[in-house]
Amino acid sequence: MRIRKLIPIISFALFFSYFNQGFSQIKKDKKSLKYSKTIKAEELKEKLYVYASDEFEGRATPSKGQELAIKFLENHYVSNNINSLQEDTYFQTVLPPKRFEKRWSKSDIKPKNVIAYIEGKKYPNEYIIISAHLDHVGVQNGEIYNGADDDGSGTVAVLEIAEAFSEAVKDGRRPKRSIVFLHVTAEEMGLIGSKYYTDNPIVSLENTVADLNIDMIGRTDPKRPKRNRDYIYLIGSDKISKELHNISEEINNLYLNVDLDYIFNEEDHPDRFYYRSDHYNFAKNNIPVIFYFSGTHEDYHQSTDTPDKIQYDLLELRTKLIFHTAWELANRKERIKSD
């Protein structure tokens, strides 16, 4: 009799264990932890003080300042032995939409996206894209708009994430899937660089697993009702792939416990942030996306958006969250699925 009573108890325990695992299949990865530690506030700060310096003249599209910024990005990837996605160049020349043909034709400078990548070991033809826009609004009324947060913060986050993956490769820990580091131009003019990329993709959109887009993650939102600092706004994570959303949540719970705030996630939110950064051009092509964003502030699109106002401890924290998410997407057994 005792044995018979134990059978349903054991069966229930096994079922509960299996059921619980279904909701928690991701385990903390020591390798992800190890390489996330290469992402450091002081390195982000060092890069951003160059990238958002007066020398780059606000990185308008097209401009000599933006060309310097593009060269800075190229030099970073070369010095870290991170390859270009195309065989012989890190650049994708972006042709203007008709409304800007006349304006862009006045300059000899051709706007460019910058694209680097690390090839995957097991699934090299599946690609995780990590994106940020490289441009800002330039010089206005004699003042340089440095764009430290918008989007210098996202740009240097991509660079640090690229370095972390590169360190893993040096140690023989190449990701299973390929990682693309995509810096797009002319976001401030209407998401032009990312639209050009998705209209003229270097790798097949069908083979693009997800886009993790980073735009303004270096400050805090003074209008946010909750006053804690350790948060990030996530936008779009559940729009195309609930699986991506669940992975994002679980990765955060495992590693960092950042306050994930979805206040701007609704497509009909009056601020319409879902439509206002480069992830949207991937989402339009049914590619799962997450847009990482810390909100606007009094220096948004002002000459006062300078590197000294960035909260580098938060920039490090948020960059690590994105790295851990990318690591999981790149190394999990199965490619995530769209709904």
Q: What is the pLDDT of residues 162-181, one digit of tens each?
A: 999 999 999 999 999 999 99
Nearest to 328 by CA among 339, 320, 316: 320
Nearest to 48 by CA among 232, 292, 219: 219
> Which structure tokens are listed for 224?
């946010």
Secondary structure of residue 83 in the 3-state scheme: strand
For the chain, which residues make up each domain, given as ranges?
A: 28-331
**Angstrom distance (rounded) from CA 104 to CA 108:** 8
77's CB contacts (< 8 A; 6+ apart) are: 83, 84, 90, 114, 116, 162, 181
Residue 267's pLDDT is 87
Q: Are 117 and 199 in contact (CB under 8 A)?
A: no
**Angstrom distance (rounded) from CA 189 to CA 63:** 14
Residue 24's pLDDT is 54
Q: How many CB atoms lie within 10 A of CB 100?
A: 17
Q: How many CB atoms lie within 10 A of CB 296?
A: 17
Q: Does domain 28-331 have CATH number 3.20.20.370?
A: no
- Residue type at position 210: A
Q: Are 181 and 133 in contact (CB under 8 A)?
A: no
- Residue type at position 150: D
In degrees rounded to 5, what are phi and psi of residue 269?
-60, 140
Conformational region of residue 172, where left means phi above 0, alpha means psi within -120 to 50, and beta covers everything else = left
Average pLDDT of the chain, as a whole number: 94
Percentage of the chain surpassing pLDDT 90? 92
Secondary structure of residue 131 in the 3-state scheme: strand
Exposed / middle / buried, residue 124 (Cβ in 10 Å: 0-12, 13-18, 19+): middle
Residue 12's pLDDT is 45
Nearest to 185 by CA among 160, 151, 231, 226: 151
Residue spans of the chain under pLDDT 70: 1-24
pTM of the model: 0.93
Q: Are 273 and 182 in contact (CB under 8 A)?
A: no
Q: Are 238 and 338 in contact (CB under 8 A)?
A: no
